[in-house]
Amino acid sequence: MTLPRIVSREEWRAAREELLVGEKAATRARDALNADRRRLPMVEIDKEYVFEGGDGKATLPDLFEGRHQLVVYHFMFAPEWDAGCRSCSAFVDQIGHLAHLRARGTEFAVVSRAPYTKLLPFKARMGWTLPWYSSYCNDFNHDFQASLPGDGDGDGDGDGDGEFFERPGVSCFLRDRERIFHTYSTYERGLDGLGSTTSFLDLTALGRQEEWEEPKGRASTLGAPAGSERIRYHDEYED
């Protein structure tokens, strides 16, 4: 195993300052990329999806829980599997308290193709409390490219044998009164670095809702102070 060079404190500081230049450039580039993402057009969802969750049947608008935005994590759990994907489970393990997302009018939900009767015991085993829904009886995963036709059995014959290839992903939605829009999706390596409140907000059309964000005019969308001014202890928010 190779390790970093051993240097004096002065040499370390100089090297750290040099690296900081690149880190600041990466931050500015990330801000610009996030702004471009918020400028993406959106597609209205006119198809009805019915999911199954802890409270029974739910439609896509129901998943918003009355909020303006919805971030869905496409969790790999095929109907024939007995347990969820290990990598997806590790991803969900790192997600913090949802109160901070919700304070910015953004709901978070997990969706998988497995029947809810399989999701529920696995959710209990993992100790998760976040909303998890089954799309077993609808085309949601297929329509948003989280389940793709292919060689699910790995035989490589190209016919797919009626199976689907599962992949992890995140899809974002915006609600304008009764209308629902799809604003963004990303998959696989696009999930690198996600898990925190701000990382999820950066994928959405409204962003972090800070005054400095581009394009202008979205920080006050919720009729509340800018994003960072709304931060509270998670038990102090009014839902």
What pLDDT score was predicted for residue 194? 95
Mean pLDDT of the residues in the chain: 91
The neighbour count for residue 82, using CB atoms within 10 Å, is 9
Among 133-137, 178-182, 222-226, name the one with the lowest average pLDDT.
222-226
10 has pLDDT over 50: yes
What pLDDT score was predicted for residue 110? 98
220 has pLDDT over 90: no
What pLDDT score was predicted for residue 238? 76
160 has pLDDT over 50: no
pLDDT digits (tens, 9 = 90+) for 101-157: 999 999 999 999 999 999 999 999 999 999 999 999 999 999 999 999 875 444 333
pLDDT digits (tens, 9 = 90+) for 52-111: 999 999 999 999 999 999 999 999 999 999 999 999 999 999 998 999 999 999 999 999
Q: Could you give the CA distance from residue 31 to residue 36 in angstroms, rounded to a whole number? A: 9
159 has pLDDT over 50: no
Query: Residue 44 — very low, low, confident or very high, per pLDDT cuts 50/70/90?
Result: very high
β-pair partners for 89? none
Strands 164-166 and 147-149: antiparallel
User: Phi, psi (5° rounding) for residue 190?
Assistant: -65, -10
Q: Position 54: which residue type? A: G
Instruction: Using CA atoms of 208, 132, 44, 145 in order, give the dihedral in degrees to the nearest 10.
Output: 100
Is the separation of the CB atoms in 88 and 168 below 8 Å?
Answer: yes
What pLDDT score was predicted for residue 149? 86
What pLDDT score was predicted for residue 88? 98
What pLDDT score was predicted for residue 225? 62
pTM for the complete prediction? Answer: 0.90
3-state secondary structure of 7: coil
What pLDDT score was predicted for residue 237? 84
Given the structure tokens 């390790």, which residue do they identify?
Answer: 3
Given the structure tokens 């015991």, which residue do they identify?
Answer: 121
What pLDDT score was predicted for residue 151? 57
Query: Residue 230 — very low, low, confident or very high, per pLDDT cuts 50/70/90?
Result: confident
